[in-house]
Amino acid sequence: MMDLSPNQDNLTEILDRLSEDEIKIEKNLKNILSRQCHVEAKLQNISKVLPNVVVIRTEGEKFCNMIRHTNELAENVSAKVRQLDLARSRVYECQRRVNDILDLQLCSEGVAMALCNEDYEQGAAHVHRYLSMDQQLLERTAEDILMDHTNVSSSLITLQQAALQLRTVVTHKFDEAVKSEDLASVERFFKIFPLLGMHIEGLKKFCSYLCTKLQETAQKNLKAALEIKSNDKRASVIFSDTMTLLFEGIARIVEIHQPIIETYYGPGRLLMTISILQKECDRQVKKIIAEFMKHRCISKKVQIVNDYVRKPSSERADPKEFDLLLGEITIMHSRAELYIRFLKRRVKVNLINEFKSMINNSDLAHGMQELLGAYLALERYFLEESVNKALGMDTLDQDQQTSSMVDDVFFIVQKCIRRSMSSWSIDGVCAVVNMACGILEGEFANRLRNRLRQGYPAGYLDLAQAYSTLQTSIQHGRLQTSDTELARLMFLAYLNNTDVSIEYVETLCKSLSSEIDATFPNMQNKERGKIDSCLSGLKGVMSILRAVNDYGLEQLRVSAVKPRVTPWVDAFLSVDHHINEDDLLRYETEEPFVQTLIMNLEGLLQNFKGTLTTSNYDALIGLLTAEVTARLEKVVLKSTFNRAGGLILDKEIRSLASYLAAVTSWSVRDKFARLTQIATILSVEKIEELADYCGADAIAWRLTPAEVRRIASMRIDFRPEDVKRLKL
Amino acid sequence: MEDYKFLFKVVLVGNAGVGKTCLVRRFTQGLFPPGQGATIGVDFMIKTVEVENEKVKLFIWDTAGQERFRSITQSYYRSAHALILVYDISCQPTFDCLPDWLREIEEYASNKVLRILVGNKIDREDREIPTHVGEDFAQRHGMYFLETSAKEAENVERLFMEIAAELMEDKIQARSKELPRYETNTTSINGKTTSIGDTSNCGCSRLS
């Protein structure tokens, strides 16, 4: 309104606007008035609820008070309960004290009576009851009631004195029983010690008693052992027998006394018993080993052996002499292992580690390690010398494919490894396996290799004659190594030796693996790994022998196969391969080239069949096949053919392949693949067919396109431009 | 087939108490077990490492140093690819015994074996053998040389890794030599021993 200044012209307009505003305001007012009723109703509602709120508040306060009260009550109650509990435990304690006091009196009277009657069990039981009481509490009790009674303290004194007295008496009686060898009394008083709280003293005393018994027996046994006559059949194992007796004695003691010790002294006490007994065992084992070393001259023998290794010219011993001795050492070692395993089974699981460290540090363990050391030094000598001896005495029998050294050497190797297993020492087995690998890879393989290096003497071959030469030479007591036949025989025998040795090593490896599993059940992973790693050395031996075998076969190829096969195959060059129809018919029935070749091959193989082992014979056929096919390919490529000539070649190659396939168990097809394909090319009717044979989809096709063209051009009836045009 | 390309046997020898077992434990398990008891016979561990992206499996034979186990431990020399001869730098007698150990090695080990001299326990304050004395010894006997501390894990990983790398290289060279067509240049391939003499400050070329 203000934006319009009132003047006559716009008065009406202002009026209009004012009335418009009025209407608007009135509308608003009406609107507000219409809501009055609603607001009033709400206000009324609120005023109605108001008294309730007051009620709720007071109720809430009441409830709160109640809870507080309950809480106080509960606390009161639990305080009472605690008090009650305290009271109850005091009553209990009191009761116990009363009981103790009553018992104390009983015991003190009882112990006096028992001592009087020499009823030590009864007395000890009373003392045991007294000892089970809380000593400090007892003394306090005694002080507490000192004014009223002197009874308690006097009982206490009585019992203390009685305990002291009993300890002395029981110890004394025990000693007496030991002195008079009264085993029943020894055990009787042994059982009383723990009642008097003398566990450790008791065990020590009892064990030292057992130790004296052990010592007596062991000394007696050792003395008997030293007095044994040398012709007695146990003489060679008398020290292992003596040691076995010792171990058996201790094992028996442990076996018998384990129940008493564990019942009267508590379950864990066996280990202490074993530890004490072990000390005596150590002393006796040391004595036995010392006597053994002295009487069997171990140090001197080891010295000789070690010197010999360093200086082979020095004094040497006959390995056979060690045979019995080696056996005896392994028995001793295995008995000690057995004994330790026995004890280990008896010791509680939670004390095993303690037991192990006790045994590992014992003189027994050290002594056994010394023995094992001596054993291994001597076993090494035995193995190496026996093998060398077997190599030196190698002989060849007419009816044998191999010479004597193979069986001899593997017999020795197996014997030594088996013997090491009988020691029950995993380290021992591993060491002997290592030694065996050493000699097989070394001297043995060298011997085979050196013989094969001399090669197979070429020349006319008649083994029957060779054998008779060999026989006469032997009969005349002179072996002429210059004899070619003999050299041939030896070569083949050594080739067989190599082959058979591979087989032997494989068998040895397998059988050892299962024998080791049987000897050492529950082997730990680490030990398993050790054994496996050492056995894998034998696999190394096998691969070395395989290389030697391959080398021998190569020698055979160079001197016996190649020089003979070459002229036979080269005969192909002197045959005309341009054949007319008439000749073709003749070739239907006869194949002059290949039949002669087969006859020659047959003659060659005949000499080796039966002389060579199956696998060597197969290998020979393999290299013969390779030689023949390679040479034949060469001469074929030097010739020219017409179709009939090609057909005949194809036929001849098939005959040759089927002959060679028949004489071996191996497949020769592969070696004939190229030749067969060459023959196919040379025998096609039309040059166009070739595209089908050597197309991209012919998987087994071995010839390159250039080769196919070259071969095709050997057909005189194919025009060179057609060959050039071939799409391959 | 197992998942590795090379397999080598490494044998540790040396006097009792020089820390052979600790070296092996440190390398194979990453531990330094204090109060280690004496090894009985031989102990055996396997660890596969990677050298130039090739898996190399190491068979580690930890031998007992005590005299009475000599027959057992000797039997492992022959097939070893590497021999680690360990002494204790704080204990003169362990160093003085080295010639005896070398005699053993000459006697039983293959002449191609890789030989490494290791002075262990360099964490100790009471050193008795100066580094250069060990180095000289190694150089005189054509051995690699390294000082280690199994306790502080110093040079232990390196020792075994360098051995693995060295053996692998030798093996690869040996393999290429086996192929006849490489025969013409075999004279130039002469294995590890040539590189030992001409190193300047240390008895070893690759281990320095």
Q: Indicate whether B194 pLDDT > 50.
A: no
Contacting residues of A for B107, CB less than 8 Å apart: 309-310
The answer to whether the CB atoms of B79 and A372 lie below 8 A apart is no
**CB distance from B76 to chain A under 8 Å?**
yes
The answer to whether the CB atoms of A434 and B43 lie below 8 A apart is no
Q: Which of A428, A438, A533 sits opposite B44 (nearest CB)?
A: A533
**Residue B207 forms part of a structural domain:** no
Question: What is the reported pLDDT for A127?
Answer: 77
Q: Which residue has the higher pLDDT, A321 or B184?
A: A321
The answer to whether the CB atoms of B75 and A540 lie below 8 A apart is no
pLDDT tens by residue, A29-59: 999 998 888 999 999 998 888 888 889 999 9
Q: Is A447 helix (H, G, I), strand (E, B) or coil?
A: helix
Q: Indicate whether B81 pLDDT > 70.
A: yes
Question: What is the reported pLDDT for A244?
Answer: 94
The answer to whether the CB atoms of B76 and A434 lie below 8 A apart is yes
- pLDDT interval class at A705 (50, 70, 90): confident
Torsions phi, psi for B42 (to 5 deg): -130, 150
Alpha-carbon torsion (A565, A568, A569, A570), positive or negative: positive
Alpha-carbon torsion (B156, B157, B162, B164), positive or negative: positive
Question: What is the reported pLDDT for A503?
Answer: 95
The answer to whether the CB atoms of A430 and B68 lie below 8 A apart is no
Long-range CB contact pairs, A703-710, < 8 A, 24+:
A703/A674, A703/A677, A703/A678, A708/A681, A710/A637
- pLDDT interval class at B163 (50, 70, 90): very high
Contacting residues of B for A357, CB less than 8 Å apart: 37
Question: What is the reported pLDDT for A471?
Answer: 58
Q: Indicate whether B193 pLDDT > 60.
A: no
What is the rounded distance in angstroms from the CA atom of residue A561 to the CA atom of residue A616?
14
Q: How many residues does chain A have?
A: 728
Contacting residues of B for A435, CB less than 8 Å apart: 75
Range of weakest confidence among A21-25, A111-115, A447-451, A484-488: A111-115
Return the CATH number at B104: 3.40.50.300
The answer to whether the CB atoms of A529 and B72 lie below 8 A apart is no
**CB distance from B172 to chain A under 8 Å?**
no
Residue matched to tokens 């070394």: A442
- Mean pLDDT over the full length of chain A: 86
**Residue B85 forms part of a structural domain:** yes
Q: Is B49 helix (H, G, I), strand (E, B) or coil?
A: strand
**Residue B204 forms part of a structural domain:** no
Token pair in block for residue A386: 């026996």
Q: Which residue has the higher pLDDT, A146 or A110?
A: A110
Contacting residues of A for B46, CB less than 8 Å apart: 529
Task: Give A524-577 as a 3 state SS string.
Answer: CHHHHHHHHHHHHHHHHHHHHHHHHHHHHHHHHHHHHHHHHHHHHHHHHHHCCC
User: Which of B75, B81, B110 to substitute to test the interface with A, most A CBs within 10 Å?
Assistant: B75
**CB distance from A157 to chain B under 8 Å?**
no
**CB distance from B16 to chain A under 8 Å?**
no
Q: What is the DSSP string of A191-243?
A: HHGGGGT-HHHHHHHHHHHHHHHHHHHHHHHHHHHHT--TTSTTGGGHHHHHH
Contacting residues of A for B69, CB less than 8 Å apart: 369, 373
The answer to whether the CB atoms of A438 and B68 lie below 8 A apart is no
pLDDT tens by residue, A117-153: 777 777 777 777 777 777 777 777 666 665 555 666 7
Q: Which of B40, B46, B79 sits opposite A529 (nearest CB)?
A: B46
What is the rounded distance in angstroms from the CA atom of residue A417 to the CA atom of residue A398?
31
Question: What is the reported pLDDT for A697?
Answer: 58
pLDDT tens by residue, A661-677: 888 877 788 888 889 88
**CB distance from B44 to chain A under 8 Å?**
yes
Percent of chain B with pLDDT over 70: 84
The answer to whether the CB atoms of A372 and B72 lie below 8 A apart is yes
Q: Which of B40, B42, B71 sits opposite A377 (nearest CB)?
A: B71
Q: Indicate whether A462 pLDDT > 90.
A: no
Question: What is the reported pLDDT for A382?
Answer: 95
DSSP state of A68: H
pLDDT tens by residue, A358-381: 999 999 999 999 999 999 999 999
Q: B187: domain range?
A: 6-197
Mean pLDDT value across residues A438-447:
94
Distance from CA of B105 to the nearest CA of A (A): 13
**Residue B206 forms part of a structural domain:** no
Contacting residues of A for B44, CB less than 8 Å apart: 526, 529-530, 533
Q: Indicate whether A287 pLDDT > 90.
A: yes
**Chain A / chain B CB contacts < 8 angstroms:** 60
**CB distance from A528 to chain B under 8 Å?**
no
H or E element: which one contains A61?
helix A11-117
The answer to whether the CB atoms of B70 and A373 lie below 8 A apart is yes
Nearest residue of chain B to residue A367 (CA atoms): B68
Token pair in block for residue A245: 């007796």
Distance from CA of A102 to the nearest CA of B (A): 55
Contacting residues of A for B59, CB less than 8 Å apart: 533
Question: What is the reported pLDDT for A430?
Answer: 95
Contacting residues of A for B36, CB less than 8 Å apart: none
Q: Which residues pair with B9 in a beta bridge?
A: B59
- pLDDT interval class at A696 (50, 70, 90): low
Range of weakest confidence among A108-112, A332-336, A569-573: A108-112
Contacting residues of A for B79, CB less than 8 Å apart: 434, 437-438, 537, 540
pLDDT tens by residue, A484-533: 778 888 899 999 999 999 999 999 999 999 999 998 888 888 889 899 99
Mean pLDDT value across residues A558-570:
89
Question: What is the reported pLDDT for A77?
Answer: 94
Question: What is the reported pLDDT for B202?
Answer: 38
> At a CB cut-off of 8 Å and minimum separation 6, what does A82 contact?
none
What is the rounded distance in angstroms from the CA atom of residue B12 to the CA atom of residue B123?
20
Question: pTM higher than 0.90 for the full model?
Answer: no
Q: Indicate whether A116 pLDDT > 50.
A: yes
Question: What is the reported pLDDT for B59?
Answer: 93
Distance from CA of B96 to the nearest CA of A (A): 22
**Residue B27 forms part of a structural domain:** yes
Contacting residues of B for A377, CB less than 8 Å apart: 71
Domain count, chain B: 1
- pLDDT interval class at B1 (50, 70, 90): very low
Question: What is the reported pLDDT for A264?
Answer: 86
| Helices and strands, counts by H and E, chain B | 7, 6
What is the rounded distance in angstroms from the CA atom of residue A84 to the CA atom of residue A229?
86
Cβ atoms of residues B32 and B26 within 8 Å: yes
Mean pLDDT value across residues A615-642:
91
Task: Tell me how crowded residue A344 is: count the other CB atoms within 10 A of its CB.
Answer: 13
Q: Indicate whether A401 pLDDT > 70.
A: yes
**Residue B178 forms part of a structural domain:** yes
Mean pLDDT value across residues A200-208:
86
> At a CB cut-off of 8 Å and minimum separation 6, what does A507 contact?
none
Question: What is the reported pLDDT for A704?
Answer: 81
Q: Indicate whether A720 pLDDT > 80.
A: yes
Torsions phi, psi for A317 (to 5 deg): -110, 155
Distance from CA of A439 to the nearest CA of B (A): 10
Mean pLDDT value across residues A250-255:
91
**CB distance from B46 to chain A under 8 Å?**
yes
**CB distance from A306 to chain B under 8 Å?**
no
Taking alpha carbons only, the member of B17, B14, B137, B144 closest to residue B82 is: B144
The answer to whether the CB atoms of B71 and A427 lie below 8 A apart is no
Question: What is the reported pLDDT for A548?
Answer: 96
What's at A470, amino acid-wise?
L
Question: What is the reported pLDDT for A147?
Answer: 57
Q: Indicate whether B93 pLDDT > 70.
A: yes
**CB distance from A268 to chain B under 8 Å?**
no
**CB distance from A293 to chain B under 8 Å?**
no
Q: Which of B37, B40, B79 sits opposite A434 (nearest CB)?
A: B79
**Residue B119 forms part of a structural domain:** yes
What is the rounded distance in angstroms from the CA atom of residue A314 to the CA atom of residue A638?
66
Nearest residue of chain B to residue A532 (CA atoms): B44
Taking alpha carbons only, the member of A425, A385, A424, A386 closest to residue A407 is: A386
Q: Indicate whether A459 pLDDT > 90.
A: no
**Residue B208 forms part of a structural domain:** no
Question: What is the reported pLDDT for B208?
Answer: 39
Q: Which domains does chain A have, with CATH numbers?
A: 11-186 (no CATH), 198-362 (no CATH), 393-560 (1.10.357.50), 575-725 (1.20.58.1970)
> At a CB cut-off of 8 Å and minimum separation 6, what does A638 contact?
A573
Q: What CA–CA distances, in Å, run from B184 to A259, A448, A551, B178, B179?
A: 80, 29, 22, 12, 11
The answer to whether the CB atoms of A526 and B76 lie below 8 A apart is no
- pLDDT interval class at A475 (50, 70, 90): low
DSSP state of A440: I
**CB distance from A437 to chain B under 8 Å?**
yes
Q: Which of B9, B37, B68 sits opposite A369 (nearest CB)?
A: B68
Q: How many residues does chain B have?
A: 208
Q: Which of A377, A380, A529 sits opposite B44 (nearest CB)?
A: A529
Range of weakest confidence among A162-166, A509-513, B197-201: B197-201
Question: What is the reported pLDDT for A151?
Answer: 67
Q: Which of A376, A437, A529 sits opposite B71 (nearest CB)?
A: A376
Question: What is the reported pLDDT for B197?
Answer: 33
